[in-house]
A = this chain, B = another copy of it.
Amino acid sequence: MTEPAPVPDALLSALRARLGAAQVLTEPAALAPHLVETRGLYRGTASAVVRPADTAEVAFTVGACAASGVPIVAQGGNTGLVGGGVPRGGIVLSLARLSGIRALDPVGATLTVEAGAILAEVQAAAAAAGFLFPLSLASEGSCTIGGNLATNAGGTAVLAYGNARDLVLGLEVVLADGRIWNGLKGLRKNNAGYDLKHLFVGSEGTLGIITAATLKLFPKPLSRAVGFVGLASPRAALALFARMRRAAGPSLTAFEVMPRFGLDLVLAHRPGARSPLAEPHDTYALVEFSSLQPEAGMEAALAASLAAALADGTAQDATIGASEAQNAALWALREDLSEAQRREGGSIKHDVSVPLARLADFLEEATAACLAAMPGLRPCAFGHFGDGNIHFNLSQPVDMDRDAFLAEWGRFNAIVHDIVVRLDGSIAAEHGIGLIKRDALQHYGDPVGLDLMRRLKAALDPADLLNPGKVLPGEAAAQAPGLP
């Protein structure tokens, strides 16, 4: 990879003068954590990490970089899984210091926060006022709401509350030329021209830098029931889901699925973990019903639904948590899966979605195709089944070298993504495109849709300075590292 031109000293001096010298980091040790992504798949380069304190300083920084032609990648918690936050020259703009809670409106049920606020702190601010901010995902202790919005994060609450995009009413965004768009409206209905917020949500920092957001809050559920269900197949899980959705509607707040291999990994790698069911099953579903009422009979409702599913053979076995501690223990079996899989060795990962009606077809076809391509491979397809979103992960054969296995990443991507696209699915369900799927998007994407995306990029960032080469290949594309 050719190094981009270094950042001019005059720019760094101007940034130090405005932000303070301590907020413009150039020491290698200070830069290091900002140059890598979570899984270590990419290593980037940057001349500086710049830490503005507020929106005006973000605008100043972006404007100064624009004037010097210096590219910028915005970073929040740097927890993304697609390489979207990896710098490729230029500067890293850290939103870490924009972490304030600006306002909570209990009447409008809205929360206005700055982009660098940690998701868990946003959840806590909502909870302290008696509300729920439902976005929830594995990295919530370190990811930031700005990154969640920039990537349209998904997670475990999408079934009932939608993706991050659906949880935002208004945005404040610094544009590529350093201007500030003030779209921080807290309105439930607003048709005053084009909806600009949806343009920035999910654009992965390539069209603008989100500096603050007004979020929707919800009444806090006061009771829940959690079930863990043994099933004969993913197809049976689909039948169970359809039954649960019809019975519970918005009370069905989670429907997660994992395979027997996934549960086995958690049981093997987490000390003290126990299977909640007596016998092993091909497929497991974690089902949650929630209610705003403290005594809403959620356990009885879930038990009745599961009893019917057991009676007609849809489900093979099931248990319901008898306490909040047991509910949490059931959830932990699902939540610990990624970490257990990491301990098991190398994984080639796919974050994909298909229409629900094709979910079982997808799992059967993709599993067979991958096993045919590499006998001994251990598929671990799990995730947000009710959203049609599967983390189709492949654990390495037991006796294979990790790096040799990971070198097959591209080959398995092609196998899995071909099937996803044939089934009208998406190769990027909740993690985004970033760098890791950029070329795949070019390959699989609708050509007219790709042309529209290029036009939007050119309209909003004509100099290609905001996170260049992510999502879409830009002028710097030829210099981008390929897949690992």
Contacts and interface: CB of A to CB of B under 8 A. Distances in A.
Contact of A353 (B190, B199, B250, B451): B190
21 contacts: A107-B238, A107-B242, A109-B245, A154-B191, A185-B424, A189-B387, A191-B428, A191-B429, A192-B426, A192-B445, A193-B428, A193-B441, A194-B207, A194-B453, A195-B198, A195-B202, A196-B452, A199-B199, A199-B452, A249-B250, A456-B456
A152 B194 contact: no
Interface stretch (A61-69, A88-96, A158-166, A267-275): A158-166
Interface string A202-228: 110001000000000011000000000
Nearest to A132: B249
Given A441-B192, A472-B193, A107 B357 contact: yes
A452 B181 contact: yes
Contacts of A448: 175, 179-182
Contacts of A109: 245, 356
Interface residues of A, number: 87
Interface stretch (A50-58, A333-341, A430-438): A430-438
Given A107-B238, A452-B460, 17 more contacts: A105-B357, A152-B191, A166-B166, A183-B446, A183-B449, A187-B354, A187-B429, A188-B387, A191-B433, A193-B471, A194-B453, A195-B202, A198-B198, A199-B456, A219-B245, A219-B249, A250-B250
Contacts of A250: 249-250
A194 B429 contact: no
Interface in A350-394: 353-357, 384, 386-389
A388 to B, nearest CB: 5
Given A107-B238, A158-B189, A456-B459, A446 B194 contact: no
A20 interface: no
* Copies of this chain held together in the complex: 2
Interface string A308-336: 00000000000000000000000000000
Contacts of A203: 194
Closest 7 pairs between A and B when the two form their complex, measured CB to CB:
A198-B198, A107-B357, A459-B459, A250-B250, A108-B356, A190-B426, A189-B429
A110 B191 CA distance: 25
A203 B174 CA distance: 23
A262 interface: no
A135 to B, nearest CB: 13
Given A196-B452, A459-B456, A191 B107 contact: no
Nearest to A207: B194
A426 B449 CA distance: 31
A388 B195 contact: no
Contact of A196 (B105, B166, B449): B449
Interface string A446-468: 10111111011011100000000
A186 B353 CA distance: 10
A186 to B, nearest CB: 5
Contacts of A384: 189
A395 interface: no
